[in-house]
Structure 1
Amino acid sequence: MIAFIVRTFTMFMLLSTMVFMFFYFLLGEPVEETFEPLWEVRHENVPLVAYFVIAMFVISCFISIWMAIASKTRESVAIRYVKQLVDPEFSLEKKKNIPRSLKKALLQTNELIETQRKSLQKLTNERVDSNDAIIQERIVQERQRLARELHDSVSQQLFAASMLLSALTEQAQGDEKSQKTLQQVEKIVQQAQLEMRALLLHLRPIALRNNTLAEGLTGLVLELKQKVNFDIDYKIEEIELSKAEEDHLFRIAQEALSNTLRHSKATEVELTLIAPDNVAILRIQDNGRGFNVEEDNQTTSYGLKNIAERAVEIGCIYKIVSVPGEGTIVEVKVPLKMRQNTDELSEAADLNASEDS
């Protein structure tokens, strides 16, 4: 509001100066004889000069409003393009009618983001390579963690099932109460089986050592189809990815499927790995009970945090969409063109290092 008032006052002063200069050149020096008609001539008892002042004020207001709208429009356009910069599919070549100054700033910002992504991917690749030396220790730690979780979750549920079975044997055969107890036992045992299968998904620290991502995901899906009681549809393509990208995407798929087994109560799951338009897309979708992403509970927040961290580590764009009662979608996008640029950057750096030595 203050900016509008200042702009209006400035425009009013500018117009007043222009009008004064106009009359100065038209009527000469501002003496009483030449400028007297401005306040002597009246219309409806209002001096002519008052009409000039009112007209200049109205024009100043209109110009200020127009400038404010134009400024707000340019700001909205800039904000929209800045928000799109993080999308790997964003390209300024497809955009038209962008001011030259804004386009230059967007190009510089986009170049900086691409450089940071390349550096981040290179660091991630180097870290994955260095992790090979300690993989055996991680296997031991993972198995210990799995043993503790099996003891704390599945064992407790199986114990509860055995207690209910004991109570069932003491009841008369064909009793309605016994039938309800039996159904409770069945639900508990089924949940225990899902817990066991979900936890075993974590026991794969070297699953992709001799396999591609497509081979690893296919094997994982085929194994689950034999053990779970719901449908798993999949569409998996062979995509050339770096070791770090394959490792992280496989772990993301494991985490998403584990959450589906343990929490979603889904009857259908769809896993997709495709690469349209130079972007590899990994998507896991189920028709389970879903949850509120903004207010997710403690049972899902840890898994979602792992997915987000792994996606960020390889410079990917991830999306988690869930609707209570409808299901959940976990999607990760990997820009393939960036990998080629990263490899070229690494080769150039190695070449420069060898020339310096």
Structure 2
Amino acid sequence: MDNLKKTRLYDAHIKYGGKLIEFARWMLPVQYEGIIEEHEAVRNAAGLFDVSHMGEIKATGKDAFNFVQNLVTNDISVLEDNQVIYTFMCYENGGVVDDLLVYKFNKEDYLLVINASNVEKDFQWMLENKMNYEVELKNISEEISEVALQGPKAQEILQTLTAFNLDDIKFFYCRRDVVIDGIKCLVSRTGYTGEDGFEIYTNNEDITKIWNSILEAGKTYGVKPAGLGCRDTLRFEAALPLYGNEISKDITPLEAGLGFFVKLNKKSFIGKEALVRQKEEGLKRKLVGFEMNERGIPRHGYEVTSNGENIGFVTTGYMSPTLKKNIGLALIDSKYTELGTEIDILIRNKSVKAKVISKKFYSKNYKK
């Protein structure tokens, strides 16, 4: 593991008993106290995540708006200054390059936050599609560290460390001038857990102070440091997609049930023609939720069958810590996607019965 990258919070993870694993060429904590304990802390109080491995690309210049608008599936023309939007970059065939957040500071200044595993690929894709746009693209991923404070007590905790009124940051908005414990930060009301919370970006040198200050301030509120393990169970319960699972170069946003973030009435964007065609022809496969009727935990990649015939595969599956049920998401043949349809999950070469249910496993608790 010596050749893996470490975030500036590596020593803090060791101090708090983090169990480190390799993720996207980074050494990151999968858990501290335990996945269930950390998951429940986020649902009931707050959890603090190191997400410094995420990638950040700046897009600035006269044509920054036109460049980003052509690059992504969502419509950034609706954004106000300091607003954030969730979207996809797609290949010409409609497959997903990556999912990302676009932060608009003004019409000539955007920040694109991308997945750690895709930073080099994504940045190359952006450069290849820069064309004649007058826009400067800069990969600042190595200069920025980021933590995510998530949970119903997140605002109360963070408010003790800043004079800035956090009520002024609405859901999916941001501010670049929030001073937390003496350190200037970019703070957005965004996250990946289905709970209210904030993502906090600052310079590498200052992130350890931010981390320690939040954990100290949050002691009486029940905050816990949280790892990648519960990050995945939390986002899964909230039916939030993971690149490489629910979306990929081989799975379009429409197949994943994420058409809301694909504005086909937009004048143009990369992949539009393929996605328009896919919608017109009808989806041959769709992402569904399912619940196990028999014992067994479904896992990513497990085969889904009906009457012995392969109809798709599990994209994510867990014993849900909140629902206390074995549930999953699967991409399957559209003929089998009606709620209540019985399907089989192949677990260690044995067919285990399941049924199709709504993907809305957990009601999101965002502060609008």
Normalised by the length of structure 2, the TM-score is 0.23
Whose radius of gyration is greater, 1 or 2?
A: 1
More helix per residue: 1 or 2? 1
* Structure with the bigger percentage of strand: 2
